[in-house]
Structure 1
Amino acid sequence: MGVVLQRFEDPAMERDYLRSERTARGTAIRSLIVVSVATLLSYIVLNPMHFPREGVIHYTMAATALIAGMLTLFFLSRTQFYLDHPWIDLPMFAALAAAMKGLTLALAAQAEITGFPPQVMALVQMGILVVFASIGFAGTVRYFLVWSFAVLAIFAAWLHSQDFTPISRIYTLTNFSTFFVFALYFNWDTDRRARSVFAANRELAAEREKTEALLYNVLPQEVVARLKSGKAVADSFSDLSVVFADLVGFSGLSKRLSPGHLVRLLNDFFSAADRCAERHGMEKVKTIGDAYLAVCGGMASDGRDSAAAIGFAQDLIADVEAMARESGIDLQVRIGVHTGPVIGGVIGSTRLAYDYWGDTMNVASRLQGIAPPGGIAVSEATYFQTRSMLDWERRREELKGIGETDVYVARPQAQAA
């Protein structure tokens, strides 16, 4: 962004700034117009008490032209055209300057009645216009510079053409130049500050988007909205499929591999699980050591039945087998799946995460523990929804904390035709 004639390097950002600034300053501009029009109307009413008929006519005509120009700007400032085409300030204020010149000449002609010399009346009227223009040129310092220098040149030329004393010309022009300099500085500094605030807000918005993107990566968007509104997040799911996937023999691997190699291996495993979860509309809940927990039918999952969970398990087993072939390391995964009621929600105030609780989670974890390497173990509830997907083997197993129950085991390579 330039130091003197400020402008954002990005054209899109410059356009956004101009729309924002012109929208924000529109209220102030319209308020000044209302005050100015009310003042001019009051003079139109009062002038017949003091001015001769010809003076009243000249003043009223000039004031009417100025009021018309101001009302045009009033209504124009409420349009999209005004926001999108900042150059309109230049012709609008050129028209206002012409109308103000007419008003000034009308008042100067009544110097004997008002007691103000013509040059003083011109100084006051044109000074008011320059100050108003310093607010009216919203975000367009370059145009204001062009306009104000033109007004200064015309004012100086008018002074030179009048039969004033040299000292009167000098003092009048010097005083007008003071209005001129202050108005320039005000317009420039207002624009400078507005641009700084706009740039800071853009950066803040970008950081907020990054933060929200990270937050949405951890929590579902609906949950984030509820947390922002201060609501407690607790949900009940009646038919959710829970998947636990765990690497076989991880403790042994941790003793054989270097820490760096082990972390890379885990990263490859969890990344493969993430890809499989996305492919099947599963919701990743968390990782626990070398175990991966996902659900189907929860808050942020697209898959709505156990078939998606079994599809996820098949793909993950195939990906781990491919990893084993590429790395030369004996890698296998076993997976447990159970379908049932679950409670989900967010608790605590730091490191927030949407978690799930209930016996269904515990059963899925126990099923993972009895699944064969490279295989899947499911509960009876899951089996009845997915029995056509694989060749299942029924077993009677003792599950810790649950008791003896029927489970179904399968290896993906034994898929049903």
Structure 2
Amino acid sequence: MQRPGLAFDDPDVEREFVDADNRAAVPRVRLCALLALALSVPFVALDLTTLHGERPLVVLLLVLSTCCLATVLPAMTWWPAAHRHVQLAAAGAVTAYSWCASVGAAVTGAAPDYAAFTAVLMLLGAVGVARVRFRTALLTAVLTVPLALGVMLLSYEVPGYQLAFEVMCFAAFALLNLAVALFLEQSKRRMFLVNRALAAERQRSEELLHNVLPAEIVSRLHHTPAPIADSYEQATVLFADIVGFTPLSSSLPAAEVVRLLDRLFSRFDDLCAFWGMEKIKTIGDAYMAVAGVPTHSRDHAARAAGLALDMQREAALLTSSWPGGLALRIGISSGPVVAGVIGHRKFAFDLWGDTVNTASRLEAHGVPGQIHVDEAAHRLLAHGHVFSGPHRTELKGKGVQNTYFLLAPAQSDHPGAIPRLASTPSHPTSERRRTAPCPEPADCPP
């Protein structure tokens, strides 16, 4: 952490600090002006009681000084740009009030230390209550203290040593105020750096948490300590697996295995985000995603179909750079699922239910390069896609089922159809732009 002085080396950091400090100073300056007005009441009453001959002038000066303070209150409350000029407003109000007091003391013959007392008290309020920055405090002291001490020197009829003692006392008060202003600003700057570092760490933690959990789940974790578990009547689960990856990984260096998986799965992550689906996890070389969880969507099956077809296209694009070629087996199942967060030290958002098991079985009993779909998903996609089948497939734990292979989107205007791809390269992962299915405007991804 850099050692704070009266300005940060980085101009961007300095601007950020000044803006934050000015915004925080607005309510403090309002409070300072309010306190000054309230504390002025007994002094005003004393002046009006004791200074009879010069009462009109006294009243004029009191009205002027009070107006200076009173103007700060509405300005700091309703002026949109108040925070940009709060330091100047504080310095101006203190200076104007102190000048009125000094002029009043000079022309009315009031106690000579009246002006000095007023200047020091106003400076103390600006530093201690409003907590203006050091440069503002220094400017205010330069504009007020010499004038007040000058009035004191010219009109005080006391022995020299006593005058010198009182002048030194008031000068010391002013210097102490400036020292307090300096230390306060250094402390504020240190706290600003600490808070800025904490905010950066908090942002980094938030980003890591969002990489692990869906945004909606992260928001709920922030607001409730209760376990998160939800049932979804309709969702579509997708499993994808790399054919022959286990023997391939045993023949490659570990770094190469990780590089290949990272390249492929990173593209899958981009596709998940594009289709509005949620990546659940990777298990070895298997990739699991879901549509309709945690945000409900009526076109969850169409989204999963679009993701599966894009995954196959990505595999085709990468097969030339993959040792021995790249082929995927993909299984898709639609139906009810249970979703929730498990773990306390390492959070994990996961799915459970028969739909999850069916999607996994479909992938395991699938054909390389094909997208294996169950009866429920086929019903949702039948009008917008081309399938082969039905095929009688025995799934472990499920018995013999009617299954289908998703081949392509149909050329139709049906709401469940995935539009044909445009030829303009733009998508970061497949180099072609797609439009996700969206039968309902409210269901469209942003």
Q: TM-score, normalised by structure 2?
A: 0.81
Q: Does structure 1 residue 360 correspond to structure 2 residue 355?
A: yes
Q: Does the residue aligned with 2:216 lie in a helix, a strand or coil?
A: helix
Correspondence for 2:401? 405
Q: Deviations over 1:22-58 (max 9, x none)?
A: 13523541442243233234425xx53xx36315555
Deviation at 1:191, TM superposition (A): 2.3
Amino acid at match of 2:320: R
Given that residues 112 and 156 in structure 2 are in contact (C-alpha distance below 8 angstroms), is that contact kept between their aligned partners in structure 1? no
Pairs within 5 Å for 1:164-175: 164=157, 165-175=159-169
Would the alpha carbon gap of residues 395 and 20 (structure 1) be closer, same or farther in structure 2, given more than 3 Å must change?
Answer: same
Correspondence for 2:430? none
Q: Deviations over 1:294-336 (max 9, x none)?
A: 1112115878232221221122122113222123423211011
Amino acid at match of 1:127: V
Correspondence for 2:387? 391
Rounded to whole Å, the distance in 1 between the matches of 2:208 and 2:215 is 11
Q: Deviations over 1:1-33 (max 9, x none)?
A: 885534673253044223233135235414422
Would the alpha carbon gap of residues 163 and 20 (structure 1) be closer, same or farther in structure 2, given more than 3 Å must change?
Answer: closer
Correspondence for 1:115? none
Correspondence for 1:267? 262
Would the alpha carbon gap of residues 163 and 362 (structure 1) be closer, same or farther in structure 2, given more than 3 Å must change?
Answer: closer
Rounded to whole Å, the distance in 2 between the matches of 1:275 and 1:103 is 74
Correspondence for 2:73? 74
Correspondence for 1:83? 83
Moved more, 348-357 or 288-297: 348-357
Rounded to whole Å, the distance in 2 between the matches of 1:342 and 1:76 is 58
Amino acid at match of 2:20: Y
Would the alpha carbon gap of residues 324 and 210 (structure 1) be closer, same or farther in structure 2, given more than 3 Å must change?
Answer: same
Choose from 322, 325, 339 the match for 2:320: 325
Rounded to whole Å, the distance in 2 between the matches of 1:83 and 1:205 is 22
Would the alpha carbon gap of residues 177 and 393 (structure 1) be closer, same or farther in structure 2, given more than 3 Å must change?
Answer: same
Choose from 6, 17, 22 the match for 2:20: 17
Correspondence for 2:105? 104
Given that residues 33 and 70 in structure 1 are in contact (C-alpha distance below 8 angstroms), is that contact kept between their aligned partners in structure 2? yes
State the identity %.
27
Correspondence for 2:46? 43
Given that residues 115 and 149 in structure 2 are in contact (C-alpha distance below 8 angstroms), is that contact kept between their aligned partners in structure 1? no
Rounded to whole Å, the distance in 1 between the matches of 2:335 and 2:51 is 96
* Structure 1 unmatched runs, 5+: 111-117
Q: Does structure 1 residue 284 correspond to structure 2 residue 285?
A: no
Deviation at 1:121, TM superposition (A): 4.0
Q: Does the residue aligned with 1:126 lie in a helix, a strand or coil?
A: helix
Amino acid at match of 1:330: G
Rounded to whole Å, the distance in 1 between the matches of 2:45 and 2:83 is 32
Q: Does the residue aligned with 1:295 lie in a helix, a strand or coil?
A: strand
Pairs within 5 Å for 1:242-253: 242-253=237-248
Task: Mark the structure with the bigger radius of gyration.
Answer: 1
Q: Does structure 1 residue 150 correspond to structure 2 residue 143?
A: yes
The number of aligned residues is 403
Given that residues 309 and 337 in structure 1 are in contact (C-alpha distance below 8 angstroms), is that contact kept between their aligned partners in structure 2? yes
Rounded to whole Å, the distance in 2 between the matches of 1:272 and 1:303 is 25
Alpha-carbon RMSD across the aligned residues, in angstroms, is 2.8
Moved more, 133-142 or 269-278: 133-142
* Structure 2 unmatched runs, 5+: 412-446
Q: Does the residue aligned with 1:77 lie in a helix, a strand or coil?
A: helix
Rounded to whole Å, the distance in 2 between the matches of 1:106 and 1:73 is 27
Q: Judging by fraction of residues, say which structure has more helix.
A: 1
Given that residues 4 and 189 in structure 2 are in contact (C-alpha distance below 8 angstroms), is that contact kept between their aligned partners in structure 1? no
Given that residues 134 and 185 in structure 2 are in contact (C-alpha distance below 8 angstroms), is that contact kept between their aligned partners in structure 1? yes
Rounded to whole Å, the distance in 1 between the matches of 2:44 and 2:149 is 29
Correspondence for 1:127? 120
Amino acid at match of 2:202: R
Amino acid at match of 2:404: Y
Q: Does the residue aligned with 1:374 lie in a helix, a strand or coil?
A: coil
Rounded to whole Å, the distance in 2 between the matches of 1:4 and 1:360 is 62
Correspondence for 2:210? 216
Moved more, 77-86 or 363-372: 77-86
Would the alpha carbon gap of residues 338 and 249 (structure 1) be closer, same or farther in structure 2, given more than 3 Å must change?
Answer: same
